[in-house]
Amino acid sequence: CCTYQEELSGFMAGYAAVMLGYRHLGFLGGMSVPAVNRYGYGYVQGADAAAKELGITDEVELEYVCGGQFYGDADITAYMDTWYGSKGVEVVFACGGGIYTSAAEAAAKVDGKVIGVDSDQSSLAPDNIITSAMKRVDNACYDISKEVLEGTLTNGVKTYDLTSGGVDIA
């Protein structure tokens, strides 16, 4: 079994967003499952840490919602339209499979920005995605395959974090 410390790449994404000058952030989760929750928790903590470091905690705002699904649709896009439009959200961490499509569609209308998830999603909306909080499944697959071939695979849980190359930002 492989697990990932998604909160670490979420932290880096939130920290980077504030350090890049964004002050009104959003988190659009898919379903409220452990991995999405860890990404979201890290994102909030990273944004908070950067705001504290810069002495601007009173200037940083964050909207947070889970859409209850892992795909975008017209209703979620309309909800994101209000974030980017009337609420003034500048960047949304879209975390949960294809739900990023709704954030990306809404962002494109107002030159808003999106943070992708799980893999480098910059090619999906190159004008709007500023980075991606990544879960490096490729590294885990390589490690496990190598252990199988070498006959060294053991039972148990392997946790992938920063030091093992299991999480990253693009």
pLDDT tens-digit map of 32-66:
999 999 999 999 999 999 999 999 999 999 999 99
pTM confidence score: 0.92
Tokens of 51: 């705001």
Rg (CA), the chain: 17
How many C-beta atoms lie closer than 10 Å to residue 163's C-beta? 8
| Cα 42 from Cα 12, distance rounded (Å) | 8
Average pLDDT, the chain: 95
CA distance 143 to 158: 10
Q: Which residues of 79-105 are buried (b: 16+ CB within 10 A; e: fewer)?
A: ebbebbeeeebbbbbbbbbebbbbbbb
Span 52-105, pLDDT tens digits? 999 999 999 999 999 999 999 999 999 999 999 999 999 999 999 899 999 999
